[in-house]
């Protein structure tokens, strides 16, 4: 049985911090499952860190369904959240229902995440009323990159007040939790104290109820640019480069494979084959 939204909300009530990571494939989901992470997001950051796009805008519903299915196969206990990609929910409530329904029914997600505040309230409510739990996402909303850029949000009085209002509106609309991305730590703390639902921060300071990171960032899969909010807990790019170089050297030198990695005949076959070949040569 997967972790439920009630269990996630209980963690806030009990003052227990909520760790969340992204995953995009089966092997990573299995490792996260073993680690007993409670929340797993198949983020549309897939576009940036797996598919090589510059932004999340080109990510399609089919991309997301495909990867969510793989994650859902590997994640036995974490709550799996499917991230609704650009223009799969902003266009109309029927579109949002149909597309969120695919995440739940086809892909095996337990809830969906969507970006936006007051403007998305009716959509959030329509999904929740029909049995689809929704996680909100405020602050830096990457699908709006062409409108707002990729900079921190909520840094002026007006913007901070709007963000606080949006958070309350999402909660009232029925969202079970809300991601706060790249907002001042003090504002995130205020929102966290004001809401009864959990806040999950990314670049939003230490006082959110939970934290989310893009797994490729925290494992150090990219070395060219490390965003300010990222702490690298491993340096996988270096480890992978070293492993690949060692493999190429071993192949070039003939030290891989050895007999240990090779197959043998069944008992007696080798001797018989040698005799057969000898007869043919004669």
Please list the active-site residues: 181
Please state at what angle helix 93-105 crosses helix 61-74, rounded to 10 degrees.
30
Closest separation in Å from C-beta 114 to ligand KIV: 10
**Among positions 21, 38, 43, 133, the unique one binding ligand KIV when judged by CB under 6 A:** 43
DSSP helix/strand/coil, 207 = coil
Closest separation in Å from C-beta 155 to ligand KIV: 19
- CB-wise, 136 or 184, nearer to ligand KIV? 136
Query: Does the footprint of ligand KIV cover residue 179 (CB under 6 A)?
Result: yes
The pair of structure tokens assigned to 54 is 């510059």
**Among positions 8, 18, 21, 22, the unique one binding ligand KIV when judged by CB under 6 A:** 22
**Among positions 23, 38, 45, 96, the unique one binding ligand KIV when judged by CB under 6 A:** 45
Residue 88's Cβ-side half-sphere holds a number of Cα atoms within 13 Å equal to: 28
Residue nearest to ligand KIV (CB): 43
Closest separation in Å from C-beta 202 to ligand KIV: 5
- CB-wise, 88 or 255, nearer to ligand KIV? 88
Query: Does the footprint of ligand KIV cover residue 153 (CB under 6 A)?
Result: no
Type and span of the H or E element at 13: helix 5-13
Residues between 202 and 231 that touch ligand KIV (CB under 6 A): 202, 212, 214
Torsion of CA 9, 13, 14, 16, to 10 degrees: 50
CA distance 72 to 122: 28
* CB under 8 A, 24+ apart: contacts of 47-53: 49/24, 49/214, 49/216, 49/217, 49/221, 49/222, 50/24, 50/25, 50/216
Backbone phi and psi for residue 71, each to the nearest 5 degrees, phi listed first: -65, -45
The pair of structure tokens assigned to 111 is 């809830």
Select from 41-49, 150-158, 164-172, 190-198 the region that touches ligand KIV (CB under 6 A).
41-49
Query: Does the footprint of ligand KIV cover residue 182 (CB under 6 A)?
Result: no
Closest separation in Å from C-beta 213 to ligand KIV: 8
Residues in the chain: 282
Q: Is the CB of residue 8 less than 8 Å from the CB of residue 177?
A: yes
Interacting residue ranges for ligand KIV, rule: CB under 6 A: 22, 41, 43-45, 83, 137, 179, 181, 202, 212, 214
């Amino acid at each position: 049985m997967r972790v439920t939204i009630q269990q996630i909300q209980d963690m806030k009530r009990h003052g227990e911090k909520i760790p969340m990571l992204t995953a995009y494939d089966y092997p990573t989901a299995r490792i996260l499952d073993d680690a007993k992470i409670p929340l797993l997001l198949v983020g549309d950051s897939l576009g940036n860190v797996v598919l090589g796009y510059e932004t999340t805008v080109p990510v399609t519903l089919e991309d997301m369904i495909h990867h969510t299915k793989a994650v859902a196969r590997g994640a036995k206990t974490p709550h799996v959240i499917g991230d609704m990609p650009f223009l799969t929910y902003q266009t109309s409530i029927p579109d949002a229902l149909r597309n969120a329904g695919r995440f739940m029914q086809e892909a095996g997600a337990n809830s969906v995440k969507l970006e936006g505040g007051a403007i998305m309230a009716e959509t959030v409510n329509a999904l929740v009323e029909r049995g689809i739990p929704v996680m909100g996402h405020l602050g830096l909303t990457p699908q709006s990159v062409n409108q707002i850029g990729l900079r921190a949000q909520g840094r002026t009085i007006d913007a901070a007040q709007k963000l606080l209002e949006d958070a309350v509106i999402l909660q009232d609309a029925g969202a079970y939790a809300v991601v706060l991305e790249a907002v001042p730590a003090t504002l995130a703390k205020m929102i966290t104290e004001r809401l009864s639902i959990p806040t999950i921060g990314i670049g939003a300071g230490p006082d959110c109820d939970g934290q989310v990171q893009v797994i490729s960032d925290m494992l150090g899969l990219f070395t060219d640019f490390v965003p300010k909010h990222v702490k690298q807990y491993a340096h996988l790019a270096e480890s992978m480069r070293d492993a690949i170089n060692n493999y190429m050297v071993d192949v070039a030198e003939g030290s891989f494979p050895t007999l240990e990695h090779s197959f043998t005949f069944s008992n007696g076959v080798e001797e018989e084959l040698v005799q057969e070949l000898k007869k043919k040569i004669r």
